[in-house]
Structure 1
Amino acid sequence: MEYRYKSYQSAINSQIVLHTNEGCGIRSIARILNISPTTVISRILKISAGLKRPYPIVKGNCYEVDELFTYVGQKKNRICVCYSLEPKSETIIDVVVGRRNKTTLRKVTETLVLSDAQRITTDKLNSYKDLIPNKIHSTKLRGI
C-alpha cells in the first residue's frame, strides 16, 4: 500500500530528528519535507515521548548541573531547561523542562544526590544550596 501523504512515510521521523539535530526550526523542517508545521510538531512530541534517560547514573561520579532559558511562542512565555552532565565524557545525564524554580531543579538534582555523587558542580543560583548537600556541592564562576 502506498500512502499519498508524505507524513505517513516510514522514514519521516528519522528525517525530522536529523533536521532537528542540524538546528532547523519547525517551519524549516515542514518546508524541506513538504509537510505541515502541525504535523512536524505532533511528530516531535511523539518522538520525544519515547525518549529514555540517555545514560545510567553511576554511583560516586562527579556531575555538573546548569540551566538555560528559552521561550515558547512569545518572549514573555519563558521556560527553563535544566540539565545534568557527566563532565569527563560530556554525556547528558538528565534534562527537565519547566519553570525556574526548586521543583524543576529538584527533578535533576535529586537523582544525582541519591547516587552518592562525589561532587555536583553548579552555578551560583541560590536554589541549589537547598537541594544539594554542602559537602558535595561546589560552584563555578560563569565563563570559566
Structure 2
Amino acid sequence: MEKCPGCLTDLNVVKNGLNKDQKQNYLCKSCKKQFIDRRALVYRKFSGNTTLISKIIKMLERGCSVRDIEYIEQVPRSVILRIIERFNLKINLKQQVYKSIQIDEMWSYVGRKRNKKWFIYALSPETGEILACVVGKRDTKTVKKLYDKIISLKVVIEEFCTDNWSAFSKVFSNCCHKIGKQFTRMIEGVNCLFRHRISRFVRKTCCFSKKLKNHINAIMIVIDSINKGNAWAK
C-alpha cells in the first residue's frame, strides 16, 4: 500500500476511487489527505490562506524556484503558478522630482532560448526604487514604450543616464541625456541583484517561464521587494 506523503504512514491508507486519468486515488484516514502516485492533493483554501501566500511570495523574492517551493512547502505547482499569475504590482513613487534616473536592459527568454525577451527598466539612484519597466524586443519601439511609461508618471526628471546603445540615443534625444558606463554604475549593481534573485536572468540558465505573463510577474515580485527595501536584506 502507498505511504501517505502527509503523515508518512501506510497504516490507515485506503483506496479511494480513480482519477480522471484512471489512476488509483488513495485516502489517508489519519490526516484526511488524498494522493495519487505519492503526489499529495492538498485540500487547503489557498485563496484565503494569506500566511501561506505571503510566505510563497517571500520565497520567490529570495530566488527560490517554483519546484523548490513545491518540494519545501508541499504545495501543488499549479497553486504557486496561480499566485504568480495573480500578482498585481502598483508602483507608488516616493517623490515628484528626480535629479537623475539610470536605464539599462537585461535579456532572458520565454519558452525557448530563441525567443529572447529583453527587460528594460528605469532606476532612481537617489531612492533606490524602480520607476518603470517593459519587457519586449531589443529595439527602439520597446525603449519608446518605457519612455512613454515614464512620462505618464507625471514626475520631473532632470537627466537620463544610459549606456551607448543607439536606441537610447534616439528616444532620449530631446532630454538631458548622459551616455557612458560611469553614469550607470548603480543600475549595473541592481542587474547583479536581479541575477541573484531571479534565476531566469542567470547567464546560461536552464530556468525559464513558459508563459510571458508569468515571466513578467516573477520580475514584478522582485521589483516590489526592491522598492520596499527588502531585496538587499541578507
Q: TM-score range by the shorter chain?
A: 0.7 to 0.9
2:66 to 15, 23, 26: 26
Alignment of 1:38 with 2:78, yes or no, is yes
Q: 1:69-108 alignment to 2 at 5 Å?
A: 69-108=107-146
Q: Give SS of 2:181's match.
A: coil
1:65/1:82 contact within 8 Å kept: yes
Question: In structure 1, how many angstroms separate the alpha carbons of the residues matched to 2:95 and 2:119?
Answer: 19
Alignment of 1:53 with 2:88, yes or no, is no
The CA deviation at 1:44 is: 0.6
Moved over 3 A (4+): 111-116
Deviations along 1:12-54, one digit per CA (max 9) or x if unpaired, are: 221121101110011111222212222211211101xx21024
When Rg is computed on C-alpha atoms for both structures, the one with the higher figure is 2
List alignment gaps of at least 5 residues for structure 1: none
Identity score, percent = 23
TM-score, length-normalised on structure 1? 0.81
List alignment gaps of at least 5 residues for structure 2: 1-41, 186-234
Residues paired across the two proteins, number:
139
- Letter in structure 2 aligned against 1:97: V
TM-score, length-normalised on structure 2? 0.52
